[in-house]
Chain A
């Protein structure tokens, strides 16, 4: 069987292989890799809700804090203890999903071009989350908290303007003050969560219809698994902090506290430099030049009626409606922001004027891709069909980010790849079957819930099933169509689906003759 994903870099191939395993177990609609950002937000809300419960019992004093947490952990283990474990493990889980989210988007190259803003605004979120975790550990005021308090104060005091003052708050019991502790509680419970929430808002503000909730099945499954972990291994404290001793052996939360052992084995200055360099590198990644960005879509006002379908379907809010200024009798006209445009072509597929059934020979649309006009797509399919000598030819429309359909090398199969499958207007399917001589149309693209342009396969499916404009006309024979989504690693399943589909088409042709 042909491997149609071999042109991909190794990390991307490996990622698709791993995701393929999860697709098999969870289904693409519930594959956790497709919802890493949403899962991170979900864990944030779990931490917020459980944190509110802990806050009800929490005492804002050095001695009170420890004892109130101990009460929740041991005396009220059945609820307070579970809540504490959920609070702890949800934030740990958030670090995993957040890190995987970052790595996955990097491997898939989703950090540059029109995506620079989303990537860039994601970088501060890493530090907000880490700070939130560190301040949370601090509030327990056990030996681990003592270690964190002193180590983080030493870390801050590295800067000359702190004057080595902060750490002196934790020298002895006499210098310890409830006031400093209250400041930490404020930071953990209000300051950082609010900043994180704003940060998340900025992070997704350039996305249309952002997915901030994981599918219910995935959310419930994760909560159930977390409950099992909370019962098997409840989160507990170390002994009460004692400033007369040095914490020696610590059960450290490596998701958040790795920075402190790193300071111990290096130095404060080294770790500051490391963190600054890592942050700058991450933030600057979108500046690294990659392949030239395709030109943004262009509006053809002669054919634009200002219907707004392109606005509704754009995954990045790159198209908007503005008052008509060309004197035609429509209220609005579409306007494209080239900086935000991904050149995915989804708006082309949404435009009602993108119809190949026009009497004019040229296919002009209200909005089109200069680099790949819809007319060119139609003509490519027509040319390749005309070259096809095998009976019952099938057109496979795919996308540049799913299985490579142009590599489908067999007689009677014409593969046409688009930037995104939703660039294909449904009328092109009807046109291919009625006018171009195609015996069948196979639609493929990225795996469900994992569209490279976020919403392409969803919009395409809704257009074909008639729940989203522009809909596929009912006269298009559903027997001669097949929709089969497949990630690049799933070329085998596309091959199988194609062969079964061609058998069906041949059967239909025999019946017809």
Chain B
């Protein structure tokens, strides 16, 4: 093979190598969300109410405890599971019961769910029950939202406000 042919062969090899890199580094384009869709994310980390009531320890019980553990009140650690439901335009789209985290079921309950929805106007209703000692839902929020294409609406529950919050 002549030197010219060898050189041409090398140029072709480098060109193919770089073309492969140049193409696959950006292409083909990936459509993560269709252009007429929006997304709703339901996500929060929340402590349910404790399952039982605190009670006062008797003097005998206190005496049996090591000195550093003699707190007068005995409070149960286990927390309520959290029931959460989401309706979209009157139709249920999600419902689940979240268990508190931790071996003693005394931690937060977490949720992170995403829902692709058509862009446009929607009615949302989100309901949560975080206390098994009561009947019905403890927190309910109903709202009309206008979602642009690619819009991300986050439904969070803020403990400090004790209410659902929507990011717009």
Contact = CB atoms under 8 A, between A and B. Distances in A.
Same complex: yes
- Report the contact-size class of chain A (Cβ under 8 Å from the partner): 35 or more
Contact of A164 (B20, B31, B110, B149): B110
Nearest to B113: A164
A164 B112 contact: yes
Contacts of B34: 248
B95 interface: no
Interface in A193-215: none
Main secondary structure of the interface of B (DSSP, over half): mixed
Interface in B100-131: 101, 108, 110-112
B71 to A, nearest CB: 28
Given A96-B20, A168-B112, A235-B25, A147 B32 contact: yes
Interface in B115-168: 149-152, 154, 156, 167-168
A225 B150 contact: no
Contacts of B45: 163-165, 168
A246 B150 contact: yes
B94 interface: no
Contact of B21 (A27, A93, A147, A251): A93
B43 A168 contact: yes
B18 interface: yes
A221 B12 CA distance: 12
A247 interface: yes
Contacts of A250: 29-32
Contacts of A264: 32
Question: Which of B18, B35, B45 gathers most chain A CB within 10 Å?
Answer: B18
A452 interface: no
A249 B31 contact: yes
Question: Which of A22, A25, A27, A154 gathers most chain B CB within 10 Å?
Answer: A25
Nearest to A154: B112
Contacts, number: 129
A126 interface: no
A253 B152 contact: no
A151 to B, nearest CB: 9
A479 B25 CA distance: 54
B1 interface: yes
A264 B32 CA distance: 8
B157 to A, nearest CB: 12
A225 B112 contact: no
Question: Which of A32, A164, A174 gathers most chain B CB within 10 Å?
Answer: A164
Interface string B12-34: 11110110111011110111111
B153 to A, nearest CB: 9
Q: Which 6 A-B residue pairings sit nearest by Cβ, starting from the closest?
A: A25-B9, A225-B14, A251-B26, A164-B110, A229-B18, A252-B30
Given A246-B38, A246-B151, A246-B152, 13 more contacts: A89-B18, A89-B21, A92-B21, A96-B21, A154-B112, A163-B108, A164-B45, A225-B15, A225-B17, A233-B22, A248-B31, A249-B35, A255-B25
Interface of A: 21-22, 24-27, 32, 88-89, 92-93, 96, 147, 154, 157, 163-165, 167-168, 171-172, 174, 221-222, 224-226, 228-229, 232-233, 235, 243-255, 261, 264
22 contacts: A25-B10, A26-B6, A26-B13, A89-B21, A89-B22, A89-B25, A92-B21, A154-B112, A163-B45, A164-B43, A165-B110, A221-B10, A224-B14, A225-B14, A229-B18, A248-B33, A248-B149, A248-B150, A249-B29, A254-B24, A261-B32, A264-B32
